[in-house]
Amino acid sequence: MSQTGKVYLVGAGPGDPKLITVKGLECLQQADVVVYDRLANPALLEHAPETAERIYCGKLPDNHTLKQEKINELLAEKALAGNVVVRLKGGDPCVFGRVGEEAEHLARLGIPFEIVPGVTAGIAAPAYAGIPVTHREHGSSFAVVTGHLREDKPELATEKWRALANGIDTVAFYMGVANLPLIRSQLILHGRDPQTPVAVIAWGTLPQQTTVTGTLSDIEERLAENSQITNPAIILVGDVVQLRERINWFESALTPGGTAVNQ
Ligand code: SAH
């Protein structure tokens, strides 16, 4: 039997293919098998040897191509056959990346693995929109929250909404665009000032990055006016959003003259 290989659970970064870590890149260069997601930039696959097997297991929004259990099994099976396996995930693998399930499965089978962190969209997309998620004067706490709320399984109970509305300065909602109406109304209902600035940043760090800004009270209308906003997008709530007026560097460079689409 061949010697067991190893699995690297690697963060691909938020979109711009240069935002992968040096370690992540080195893992790709050594890969025998790359198992990649929808949100990992396919340009990164060029770093893997030509002979490496490339397996797409991205989940389309409503159409899971490969169930999580199957992905877990696939990683184990390829490693047990002696391969260096890179599991390439968008952003950071530990932020809504289900890396816990994959790592647990490998640990259970005694298969060696490493987690290689990545740059997460909830920090990087705002940074490219000219919004630092913390700031000495405008934000001293930051939360990362799923906006993928299912009515049959309310992931955010009342106390959580209350905490997010009152206790956290900056909140990044992932997977939240479809639930924007619910998110904004829950935050207001639980005490957040309706004038709190909000930014919705789509395709962050990529050339097609688009940002719409507004407040909790008018962000829905602002978004409706801008059809360029499609998933993936981050909804960022907090006073730090104001900083964009002064430090919106990336989109200004994309649109000569410095006018962002939506100020
Ligand atoms: N592990 C990833 C998140 C996966 S969940 C990370 O750390 O970034 C998928 C969600 O991430 C999307 O619905 C969207 O909210 C966000 N996302 C991923 N890439 C993005 C991008 N380039 N711009 C804006 N949001 C992005």
Best mutation site among 37, 96, 123, 177 for ligand 1 pocket (most ligand atoms within 8 Å of CB):
96
Element (H or E) spanning 75, and its range? helix 68-80
C-beta 96 within 6 A of ligand 1: yes
Would you list the domain boundaries of the chain?
6-119, 122-258
What pLDDT is recorded for position 150?
A: 65
What pLDDT is recorded for position 152?
A: 56
Centre of ligand 1 to C-alpha 81, Å, is 32
Query: How far apart (Å, rounded) are the C-alpha atoms in residues 94 and 115?
Result: 9
Query: How far apart (Å, rounded) are the C-alpha atoms in residues 54 and 131?
Result: 35
Query: How far apart (Å, rounded) are the C-alpha atoms in residues 237 and 161?
Result: 13
C-beta 121 within 6 A of ligand 1: yes
C-beta 232 within 6 A of ligand 1: yes
Query: How far apart (Å, rounded) are the C-alpha atoms in residues 110 and 108?
Result: 6
C-beta 234 within 6 A of ligand 1: yes
What pLDDT is recorded for position 243?
A: 97
Element (H or E) spanning 88, and its range? strand 84-89
Centre of ligand 1 to C-alpha 1, Å, is 40
CATH H-level, domain 122-258: superfamily: Tetrapyrrole methylase, C-terminal domain (3.30.950.10)
Confirm if 35 and 90 have CB atoms less than 8 A apart: no
What pLDDT is recorded for position 59?
A: 61
Catalytic residue list: 37, 59, 175
Centre of ligand 1 to C-alpha 122, Å, is 7
Element (H or E) spanning 212, and its range? strand 210-215
Check: CATH 3.40.1010.10 for 6-119? yes
**Atom 5 in ligand 1: residue holding the nearest Cα:** 96
Instruction: Quote the tokens at residue 21.
Output: 């870590």
Q: What is the pLDDT along the chain (263 residues), one digit of tens a residue?
A: 569 999 999 999 999 999 999 999 999 999 999 999 888 999 999 999 999 999 998 766 555 567 889 999 999 999 999 999 999 999 999 999 999 999 999 999 999 999 999 999 999 999 999 999 999 999 999 999 999 876 655 656 888 999 999 999 999 999 999 999 999 999 999 999 999 999 999 999 999 999 999 999 999 999 999 877 888 999 999 999 999 999 999 998 876 544 444 43
What pLDDT is recorded for position 102?
A: 96
Best mutation site among 10, 18, 36, 39 for ligand 1 pocket (most ligand atoms within 8 Å of CB):
39
C-beta 120 within 6 A of ligand 1: yes
C-beta 250 within 6 A of ligand 1: no
Centre of ligand 1 to C-alpha 13, Å, is 9
Query: How far apart (Å, rounded) are the C-alpha atoms in residues 225 and 241?
Result: 19
Centre of ligand 1 to C-alpha 90, Å, is 7
Please name every residue paired with 87 in a beta bridge, in sequence order, or none if there are none: 9, 35
